[in-house]
A and B are shown apart, each in its own frame.
Chain A
Amino acid sequence: MSTEVATPPEDGARPRPSAPRRLLAWMISGNTFTVTVLAFFSALVVGAIIIVLATPSAMTAWHYALVSPGTALSESWDAITNAYGALVSGAVGSRQALSETLVSTTPLLMAGLGVALAFRAGLFNIGGQGQLILGAIGATWVGFSMKGLPIVLHLPLALLAAAVFGGAWAFIPGILKARTGAHEVITSMMLNYVALNLLGWILIQSQFCATNPCTDAISKIVVPGARLPHIAGSNLRVNLGIVLAVAFTFGVAWLLQRSTLGFEFRMIGLNPEASGVAGVNTKRLYVVALTMSGMLVGLAGAFSVLGVDYQVSPVYGGTTGFDAITVAILGHGSPLGVALASLLFGAFVSGGRSMQASTGIPLQLVVVIQAVFVLFVAAPGVIRTIYRIRVRRGAERVFGGWG
């Protein structure tokens, strides 16, 4: 076993090194995994600096750093450990914390899967925001307008409506790209604004508005029979959504790896010219990939409405549609990677809230840490320079497609 590497035999006969060795070789060759871990660590260091700056007692101690440097350091250390301690316990420290982490993870995971699927087909779906809003509208509409249906019928119908609405919204940039060559980045992004304002308009229509006459722009409430059931008791918000999202993760992974459609997505993602020469209809696939991407993102909106909020309000979904892009990049476009990245981000959100409550450090800190983390991951050269990692040739390319 130890001689495998030392004596490379003729081509075609070389045995594969053992799994641990491959993992090791992969890690020391400056690969993405090492970079990701080091980028995370670096982001935490940046976060620590911000924590000190945001903690008055620590800053006061630094004013006297020349007189008593020990105090400044220990005050800073206390501030950092307090904040990060609160962050961790708010993310995973209790049943409540875990529930909130998973609740935050669910829409990110679904939307992230959607964006990642488009990535793999060489498409940048920047329109997650709009597709998520459309999905939420669809789910809400079916969720409150139909009454008396059993949950086994009503819930799937509401989810289907979300997928159809989200998919239709992403079909538009898809067909525009196929027919006219319009770049999906621009068209899908513009549709975000349309969706946002469409939502604002729909919410004040009498069919949709919670009250009649309409006093507040907020929708009617989804009936219990269309809601995603809680899975850990009624006082924890975690619901069937996370289970479905995990199932979708496996579904997308299967699609990409085992289906001919996924094979074609990966083909056009990596080399549209060769795909065309091999007889693949690239234009049709662009439409299909974007539509499927929009369906997944639309479901993200449905999972939020049907699992947590039960109604939609203006600017619904916050920045989830954009965070999904971050998650997809962090996850390197792979379903498993997206799942891990969205779990991390979900933990950050849930932990960040509890950190704000107990230490007064604003929630925005976690947003900055997330952003710095992704920035380092996206610019691996920075991390390699800081930690002096050798670069393996060809390891840089993650996504193609900016055409």
Chain B
Amino acid sequence: MLLELNGITKQFGDLVANDHIDLTLEQGEIHALLGENGAGKTTLMNVLYGLLQPDEGEIRIEDEPVHLVDPRAAIAAGVGMVHQNFMLIPVFTVAENVVLGFEPTRPFGIIDKKKARAFIRELSERYGLLVDPDHLVSDLSVGQQQRVEIVKALAREARVLILDEPTAVLTPQEIDYLFTVMRSIKESGHSILFITHKLGEVLSVADRITVIRQGKVVGTVKPEETTDDQLAAMMVGRGVRLVVDRGPSRPGEPVLEVGDLSVVRESGVVAVNSVSLEVRSGEILAVAGVQGNGQTELTQAIMGLRPPSAGTVIIRAADVTGATPRHVLRTGVGHVPEDRQRDGLIAEFTIAENLILDAHDETPYAHRGVLDWNAIKSAANERIREFDIRARSVDVPARTLSGGNQQKVIVARELSRDIRLIVASQPTRGLDVGSIEYVHRRLVQARDEGAAVLVVSAELDEVLALGDRIAVMHGGRIVETFDAGEHTREEIGLLMAGSSVNGGGARREGGEE
């Protein structure tokens, strides 16, 4: 056995990211690690690469226990990693990037460029990587940069190559080429751990597939012995379902109308492709989708945080396409941003201050540009009671709160304004069960009070628990919109993974994107 992970456990506060994970990797094998976002895949790989230390468990390489205290130790043990975000220096050439840190030198410490170049040519040819050592990294396409990362890892004599979501940033042609490269690397006796959440890919390239969900291994299967619906079921789980007590929706007037909205990312990639949707007062529309399929950009465009390239956003019959975030918020929109640490809170600010971030210049918190601290504090005290925020006082910095309580601060802030529409992105990501339940209850309550609610979530359980209607997003498009109960969770899982649903589940060759 080349690599063996035994009972790896890693905990962050209350969150168990990896719960006694066992995994083996044989010589010359491509082993796929499949799971939803937040399942614990990246944590596990960071443990293996020495970026994180496990709380429990051991790692064995060729039956010898190893202690990978940092990436340097991991590299020495023969583990190489290609991150989602490349670690290349754009103004250096390919050769310079590859030899960085172990440069072949001539006397007096002068880098032997000729040797470096020859070395890279040889590697590149052996594995069909098509990498020119003399090109500047900044001139390369994303797919080429990825291959430079692979060369880098191979040049450091990696026997185990970890590819973290390598296809996320690639075009379909580049993905095909990557698989060719992966097979040739495998044939030369290396082993690859391939992290992904895409079903179609693992079936076409992996020798074995291990599915993890909520930090635990669900099972290990061979591609010829499984189908993509079985994998989807393993991924999203049939187990415990979150149930929210809620009556039927009573949809009223449309509050949010998105028409043919498109968003182009800075890199030129079309992130949102002609999306239309409508949310009425008194209903919850849940947008399901695997992370990175345009949901982030969609909510940003609705909130005025990113200019759309085409289409319209209408809120309460007023066109707010391309309006400022402030304007959108003032039309009566509550926004729970996806990345709460970065976009939802100011960690060093107190709870009281965080509770007025987007209303600090409105009555009763301020009059003519002067803050009324008495009003701010008393409102804050009310909120922490009403929303059950567990904190010593409203004067403690938000960073001292747990993730669940931080999210409650955001929810409290957004639901306490006069709102007609709530846009909540991944509202319960990383929260404990109690907080998840609480946030869900609040969103349903807002719906029952007549607000229109748009929930974007990568968690199928959440989508099923909340959505009166469900829209599935994949590859920047809304694949299908339907009433809750119209499709089974397995079918929704397939839609999220980019497969089509033909009367209850497609076979292989899904993902026709």
Q: Is the CB of A11 within 8 A of B392?
A: yes
Q: Is the CB of B326 within 8 A of A279?
A: yes
Given A12-B384, A258-B371, A259-B369, CB of A267 within 8 Å of CB of B346? yes
CB distance from B493 to the nearest CB of A (A): 31
Q: Is the CB of A274 within 8 A of B371?
A: no
In angstroms, Cα B327 to Cα A271, docked, is: 20
Q: How large is the interface on A (under 10, 10 to 19, 20 to 34, 35 or more residues)?
A: 20 to 34
User: Does B335 sit at the interface, judged by CB under 8 A?
Assistant: yes
In angstroms, Cα B353 to Cα A267, docked, is: 10
Collect the chain B residues with CB atoms within 8 Å of residue A11's CB.
Answer: 390-392
User: Does B211 sit at the interface, judged by CB under 8 A?
Assistant: no
Hey, what's the 0/1 contact readout for B316-340 against A, CB within 8 Å counting as 1? 0000000011111110000101000
Hey, what's the 0/1 contact readout for B336-375 against A, CB within 8 Å counting as 1? 0100001111111100010001101100001001110100
User: Does A21 sit at the interface, judged by CB under 8 A?
Assistant: no
Collect the chain B residues with CB atoms within 8 Å of residue A386's CB.
Answer: none
User: Does A277 sit at the interface, judged by CB under 8 A?
Assistant: yes
Given A260-B370, A270-B348, CB of A277 within 8 Å of CB of B392? no
In angstroms, Cα B329 to Cα A397, docked, is: 31
CB distance from B434 to the nearest CB of A (A): 13
Q: Is the CB of A270 within 8 A of B371?
A: no
Closest residue of chain B to A10 (Cβ to Cβ) is B390
Q: Which of B337, B384, B391, B399 contacts A277 (CB 8 A)?
A: B337
Q: How large is the interface on B (under 10, 10 to 19, 20 to 34, 35 or more residues)?
A: 35 or more
Tell me the A362-403 residues at the B interface (CB within 8 Å): 394, 397
Collect the chain B residues with CB atoms within 8 Å of residue A394's CB.
Answer: 399
Q: Is the CB of B370 within 8 A of A258?
A: yes
In angstroms, Cα B357 to Cα A258, docked, is: 14
User: Does A14 sit at the interface, judged by CB under 8 A?
Assistant: yes
Collect the chain B residues with CB atoms within 8 Å of residue A271's CB.
Answer: 342, 345-347
Q: Is the CB of B345 within 8 A of A259?
A: no
In angstroms, Cα B393 to Cα A273, docked, is: 26
Q: Is the CB of B357 within 8 A of A276?
A: no
In angstroms, Cα B374 to Cα A236, docked, is: 45
Given A11-B392, A273-B343, CB of A279 within 8 Å of CB of B348? no
User: Does A261 sit at the interface, judged by CB under 8 A?
Assistant: yes
In angstroms, Cα B324 to Cα A266, docked, is: 21
Interface residues of A, Cβ cutoff 8 Å to B: 11-12, 14, 16, 257-261, 263-264, 266-267, 270-271, 273-281, 394, 397
| 6 nearest A-B residue pairs (beta carbon) | A279-B326, A278-B358, A278-B357, A11-B390, A260-B361, A271-B346
Q: List 30 A-B contacts (CB under 8 A).
A: A11-B392, A12-B391, A14-B392, A257-B371, A258-B373, A260-B366, A260-B370, A261-B369, A264-B360, A266-B349, A267-B349, A270-B346, A271-B342, A271-B345, A273-B343, A274-B344, A274-B357, A275-B357, A276-B305, A276-B325, A277-B303, A277-B325, A277-B335, A277-B337, A277-B358, A278-B329, A278-B358, A279-B330, A279-B358, A394-B399
Not counting A258-B373, A260-B371, a sample of 8 additional A-B residue pairs whose C-beta atoms are within 8 angstroms of each other reads A11-B391, A259-B370, A271-B346, A271-B347, A274-B344, A276-B305, A279-B327, A279-B329
Interface residues of B, Cβ cutoff 8 Å to A: 303, 305, 324-330, 335, 337, 342-349, 353, 357-358, 360-361, 366, 369-371, 373, 384, 390-393, 399
